[in-house]
Amino acid sequence: MSNSSTQTASASDDLQVDDGGAEERRLHMQAYNLWTSLNDGGSLPSSKELLTHPDCTFADNSVIIELDDELLGAVTSIGANLPSSSAKLPLSVEKVPRRSLVSRLTDHILEPVANRAPVGFEAEFVDEREMDISYRTIALPCSSDGVLIDAVVGVISFKSNGPAAITEEDEELSSPIRKKASAGKAKKPLSLTEKVKEKIIDLSNSGDLINQILSYHPKEKREQRREEIMNYKDKLKECMAIDGAIAVALFDYESGMPIATEQGGGKSLDLEVAAAGNTNVLRAKYATMKELGIDEPIEDILITLGTQIHMIRPASSESGQGLIVYLALDKAKSNLGMARMKLRQIEKGLEV
């Protein structure tokens, strides 16, 4: 493993060793499940709601990063089980030591913002003590008003694998000549936006994702996003007024993630699973149509079960491209023809 030639700071805390891989996974699954249970109809939980919930078992392994209107972040809380838990807070993301455990999270903070969904990652790195560290992290987007993301909660588990093995290349980089050469004027650090651009380009080479992230920056854009989501919720309430409606979800075709959801008081469906599964159904149908040489839009897909009817309808308007409506109906209480007509009318008012 290569070592950084510049150390910005040293942590004074001793690393706590976590030996249980199964326990690590359980911790992150608990965090994900609690976040999902609090994500009511697409309304995001706040960091306080998440970490003070009676079912929260991961507060001591958590980091809170609060975001301002320009998405510039500051670490405001570090759990007791994590290194640097005694650090002076708040701490700007720009000043988080580059070879610290917390920096593993701050490098990824805008990914859950862009996706409005949890993002998990795991890897190894060599910390400022030259220790080989394995870690697993899940980053959870949070909102104080349910719509605008103003914080990211990271849940981190880790273990120390002992001193890092030093290669010949590492020895060369650590030589006195190298140290002297690197002891000059430090390069100007990248801004958070530049870091995110660099990171996302490296991860996905996707300009669309970069633009999606950066579109959250101006406050007016964030307010516009709030209005869009409230419009979506109004549209889904109209869908729930259709006779026999059980649940409805609006999701993004590219990511398969739900944007907004609504359910009735009776039967409950896991709409995140439904969104991901129905995305795969649509993709499979589009692929089949391509092989058959059929170049026509899909109006809707109907799946008839013993007691339910599931409707999948891509938005047909130019302004709604990429949005998919999924509606589950009680077969005994619904009129299919009327439901299709009403869903078509509602869908035409959707805009990205």
Model confidence at 27, pLDDT cuts 50, 70, 90, reads confident
Q: What pLDDT digit, counting tens, does each position of 206-232 carry?
A: 344 444 444 444 455 555 555 666 677
User: What is residue 94's predicted lDDT score, i.e. its pLDDT?
Assistant: 81
What tokens were used for 294? 């059929």
CB 126 within 8 A of CB 164: yes
Q: What is the mean pLDDT of the chain?
A: 75
At residue 205's C-alpha, the angle toward residues 201 and 209, to 5°, is 80
User: What is residue 132's predicted lDDT score, i.e. its pLDDT?
Assistant: 87
Asked whether the predicted pLDDT for residue 58 surpasses 80, the reply is yes
Model confidence at 237, pLDDT cuts 50, 70, 90, reads confident
Q: What pLDDT digit, counting tens, does each position of 147-164 carry?
A: 788 899 999 999 888 887
CB 77 within 8 A of CB 65: no
Of 312 and 194, the one with more pLDDT: 312
Asked whether the predicted pLDDT for residue 308 surpasses 90, the reply is yes
- Give the other-Cβ count within 10 Å of 309's Cβ: 19
User: What is residue 230's predicted lDDT score, i.e. its pLDDT?
Assistant: 65
Asked whether the predicted pLDDT for residue 36 surpasses 80, the reply is yes
Determine the Cα–Cα distance for residues 109 and 128; give it in Å rounded to an integer.
21
Asked whether the predicted pLDDT for residue 169 surpasses 80, the reply is no
| pTM (whole model) above 0.85 | no
Asked whether the predicted pLDDT for residue 23 surpasses 80, the reply is no
User: What is residue 292's predicted lDDT score, i.e. its pLDDT?
Assistant: 94
Determine the Cα–Cα distance for residues 269 and 181; give it in Å rounded to an integer.
61
